[in-house]
Structure 1
Amino acid sequence: MSESEKLGSEPSISRRKRNILIFVLIGVTSIFIRLLYSYEFETSALLYVGIPFFVAIALLAILKKPQHDTLGSYYVYASKWSFIVMLGTSIILFEGFVCVVIFMPIYFFILFLMYLFHTMVQRLHEKKKNTLYAHALPVLIVVSALEGVVPSFEFDREYSVSRDIVIDAPAEVIQAQLKQPMELDVDRNWLLSLFPMPTDIEAGSLLSGDVHNIKFVYHRWFVTNTHSGAMSLELTEVSEDYIKTTFLEDTSYISNYMDLKGTEIRFEERDNEQTKVTLTIHYTRFLDPVWYFGPLQEYAIGKTAELLLSELFVPDSI
Structure 2
Amino acid sequence: MLASMTPVEPADPPDPQPPYPAPEPAPAPPPRSWGGRVAALAIVAFTGVTAPFLLIRSGHLDTAALFVGVPLALAVIIALSPPAKSLHGLTFRVVTFGLLITSAFLHEGAACVLMASPLVYGVGHLVAEVVRQARRLDERRRAALAVVPLLLLASLEGTAYRVDPVQTVTTERVVAMSPQQVEQSLQRGPDFSARRPFLLRFSGYPTPTASSGDGLAVGTRWTFTMAGGPIVTEVSARDSQRIEFKVVSDQSKTQRWLSWQRAVVRLTPQADGDTAVKLELSFTRRLDPSWYFGPIESAMVGAGLDHFADSLGLRAE
- Counterpart residue number, 2:74: none
The one-character-per-residue Cα deviations of 1:29-85 (angstroms, maximum 9, x if unpaired) are xxxxxxxxxxxxxxxxxxxxxxxxxxxxxxxxxxx952xxxx7xx645642442222
- Counterpart residue number, 1:58: none
CA 137–189 in structure 1, closer or farther in 2 if over 3 Å, else same: farther
Q: How does 1:116-195 map to 2 (within 5 A)?
A: 116-124=129-137, 128=138, 130-150=140-160, 153-193=161-201, 194-195=204-205
How far apart are the structure 2 equivalents of 1:164 and 1:93? 36
2:258–2:283 contact (8 Å) kept in structure 1? yes
Question: Which amino acid in the other structure matches residue 117 of structure 2?
Answer: M
How far apart are the structure 1 equivalents of 2:106 and 2:300? 26
Q: Which secondary structure does the structure 1 equivalent of 2:188 belong to? A: coil
Q: Which has the larger radius of gyration?
A: 2
How far apart are the structure 1 equivalents of 2:179 and 2:234? 21
Q: How does 1:59-98 map to 2 (within 5 A)?
A: 66=85, 75=88, 78-94=91-107, 96-98=109-111
- Counterpart residue number, 2:220: 210
Give the percent of matched residue pairs that are identical in Structure 1 and Structure 2: 22
How far apart are the structure 1 equivalents of 2:182 and 2:152? 51
Question: Which amino acid in the other structure matches residue 85 of structure 1?
Answer: G
1:175–1:313 contact (8 Å) kept in structure 2? no
- Counterpart residue number, 1:234: 234
Asked if residue 101 in structure 1 is aligned to residue 138 in structure 2, the reply is no
How far apart are the structure 1 equivalents of 2:122 and 2:147? 13
Moved more, 93-102 or 300-309: 93-102
CA 154–198 in structure 1, closer or farther in 2 if over 3 Å, else same: closer
Q: Which secondary structure does the structure 2 equivalent of 1:172 belong to? A: helix
Q: Which secondary structure does the structure 1 equivalent of 2:218 belong to? A: coil
The one-character-per-residue Cα deviations of 1:246-288 (angstroms, maximum 9, x if unpaired) are 0111111111111111111111111111111111111112222
Q: Which secondary structure does the structure 1 equivalent of 2:206 belong to? A: coil
How far apart are the structure 2 equivalents of 1:271 and 1:93? 53
CA-CA distance at 1:116 after TM superposition: 2.6
Q: Which secondary structure does the structure 1 equivalent of 2:226 belong to? A: strand
Give the TM-score taking structure 2 as reference length.
Answer: 0.66
The one-character-per-residue Cα deviations of 1:86-130 (angstroms, maximum 9, x if unpaired) are 102322454543122222122112123223313322442xxx453
Gaps of 5+ in 1: 1-5, 8-63, 218-227
Q: Which secondary structure does the structure 2 equivalent of 1:159 belong to? A: strand
CA 158–315 in structure 1, closer or farther in 2 if over 3 Å, else same: closer
- Counterpart residue number, 2:11: none
- Counterpart residue number, 2:124: 111
1:172–1:240 contact (8 Å) kept in structure 2? no
Q: CA RMSD in A?
A: 3.0
1:173–1:315 contact (8 Å) kept in structure 2? no
1:265–1:277 contact (8 Å) kept in structure 2? yes
- Counterpart residue number, 1:198: 208
- Counterpart residue number, 1:22: none
Asked if residue 298 in structure 1 is aligned to residue 298 in structure 2, the reply is yes
- Counterpart residue number, 1:280: 280
Q: Which secondary structure does the structure 2 equivalent of 1:146 belong to? A: coil
- Counterpart residue number, 2:36: none
CA 276–199 in structure 1, closer or farther in 2 if over 3 Å, else same: closer
CA-CA distance at 1:167 after TM superposition: 0.7
CA 269–101 in structure 1, closer or farther in 2 if over 3 Å, else same: same
Moved more, 277-286 or 294-303: 294-303
CA 190–98 in structure 1, closer or farther in 2 if over 3 Å, else same: farther
Moved more, 187-196 or 288-297: 187-196
How far apart are the structure 1 equivalents of 2:176 and 2:102? 52
- Counterpart residue number, 1:269: 269
Question: Which amino acid in the other structure matches residue 288 of structure 1?
Answer: D
Question: Which amino acid in the other structure matches residue 198 of structure 1?
Answer: P
Compare the two structures and name the one with the higher strand fraction.
Answer: 1
CA-CA distance at 1:315 after TM superposition: 7.1
CA 308–94 in structure 1, closer or farther in 2 if over 3 Å, else same: closer
CA-CA distance at 1:163 after TM superposition: 1.7
Give the TM-score taking structure 1 as reference length.
Answer: 0.66
CA 214–234 in structure 1, closer or farther in 2 if over 3 Å, else same: same
